[in-house]
């Protein structure tokens, strides 16, 4: 059922709502079919929202998906929501069970940004501030996000990245990185095995919305002296349980 036309601000909000709630990218024509806007208006408003970063045009040049500024708004709402304390409680419980630092990160351009973090009490740890950004290609959370993109989009994003050596195991070959991301997509778990920092390992799993779409990652970080690459499977049930709890919490926002 098509909606009635409204003011410009109503049309903009309807476009954002339509794109954000869609399970697939939408063209301006698709959006027009839902909202019953004048064709020229739909294209003009989508172009303006793209220019401001609220929408992101896909590599096909026709369809749109949520842009970084829309992600930032969503994360800001989550970070300042009435469930902030509950979210921190879930992270704290996970950190205490595993004995390591836990964090939530979301995509921000060609980086991942931390929105929530609980530090371990262990003496050896990395202290990252909320809002700190880390590269996509050499972090567990970043590679996990890349695995959620369509394959053509993954390749386009990786081609934009400067694959610099950050640690002893940083993957700098694009084909090897794509193969790694394909494997992450199959397993729904991502591991940073000393790729960002020497002697540090990280494990990340997705947090999804009620439609199963990725919107952030849940990860643990630890020195290899406490967690080895051969021990990662033992932590997955706890990580996935916490990720499911966080996903259900987000549904109630």
pLDDT of residue 2: 45
* pLDDT tens-place string over residues 121-175: 777 666 677 778 899 999 999 999 999 998 888 998 999 899 999 999 999 999 9
Q: For residues 243 and 83, which has the higher predicted lDDT (pLDDT)? A: 243
Contact by Cβ (8 Å): 88, 118: yes
How large a percentage of the chain has pLDDT more than 90? 47
Q: Which residues pair with 203 in a beta bridge?
A: 191, 220
Give whole-number Cα distances, 225 to 124, 177, 199, 201, in Å: 9, 26, 8, 10
Largest CA distance in the chain: 62
| Nearest alpha-carbon partner for 7 in 48, 35, 34 | 35
Phi, psi of 196 (to 5 degrees): -95, -45
What confidence tier does 75 reach under pLDDT thresholds 50, 70, 90?
low
What confidence tier does 82 reach under pLDDT thresholds 50, 70, 90?
low
**Domains of the chain from N-terminus onward:** 8-66 (1.10.10.10), 71-251 (3.30.450.40)
What confidence tier does 1 reach under pLDDT thresholds 50, 70, 90?
very low
Give whole-number Cα distances, 61 to 35, 37, 152, 187, in Å: 21, 21, 13, 30
| Nearest alpha-carbon partner for 219 in 128, 83, 157, 155 | 128
209-216, Cβ contacts within 8 angstroms, sequence gap of 24 or more: 209/247, 209/250, 209/251, 210/247, 210/251, 211/23, 213/23, 213/148, 214/144, 214/145, 214/148, 215/71, 215/74, 215/106, 215/250, 216/75, 216/104, 216/105, 216/106, 216/115
- Residue 20 CB contacts under 8 Å (≥ 6 apart), including other chains: 66, 70
What distance in Å separates the CA atoms of residue 35 and residue 227, rounded to the nearest whole number? 52
What distance in Å separates the CA atoms of residue 116 and residue 105, rounded to the nearest whole number? 7
* pLDDT tens-place string over residues 28-50: 889 988 888 888 888 899 999 99
């Amino acid at each position: 059922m098509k909606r009635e036309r409204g003011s410009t601000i109503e049309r903009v909000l309807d476009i954002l709502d339509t794109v954000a709630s869609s399970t697939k990218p939408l063209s301006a024509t698709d959006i027009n079919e839902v909202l019953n806007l004048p064709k020229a208006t739909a294209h003009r408003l989508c172009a303006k929202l793209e220019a401001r970063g609220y929408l992101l045009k896909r590599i096909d040049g026709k369809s749109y998906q949520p842009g970084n500024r829309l992600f930032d708004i969503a994360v800001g709402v989550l970070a300042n929501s009435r469930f902030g304390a509950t979210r921190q409680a879930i992270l704290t419980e996970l950190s205490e069970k595993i004995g390591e630092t836990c964090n939530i990160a979301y995509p921000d351009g060609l980086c991942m940004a931390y929105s929530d973090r609980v530090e371990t009490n262990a003496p050896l740890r990395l202290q990252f501030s909320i809002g700190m950004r880390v590269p996509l290609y050499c972090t567990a959370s970043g590679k996990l996000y890349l695995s959620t993109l369509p394959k053509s989009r993954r390749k386009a994003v990786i081609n934009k990245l400067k694959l610099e050596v950050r640690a002893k195991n940083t993957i700098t070959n694009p084909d090897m990185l794509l193969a790694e991301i394909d494997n992450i997509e199959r397993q729904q778990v991502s591991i940073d095995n000393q790729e960002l920092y020497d002697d540090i390992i990280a494990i990340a799993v997705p947090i999804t919305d009620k439609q199963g779409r990725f919107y952030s990652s849940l990860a643990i970080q630890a020195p290899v002296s406490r967690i080895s690459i051969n021990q990662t499977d033992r932590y997955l049930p706890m990580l996935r349980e916490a990720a499911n709890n966080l996903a259900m919490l987000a549904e109630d926002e």
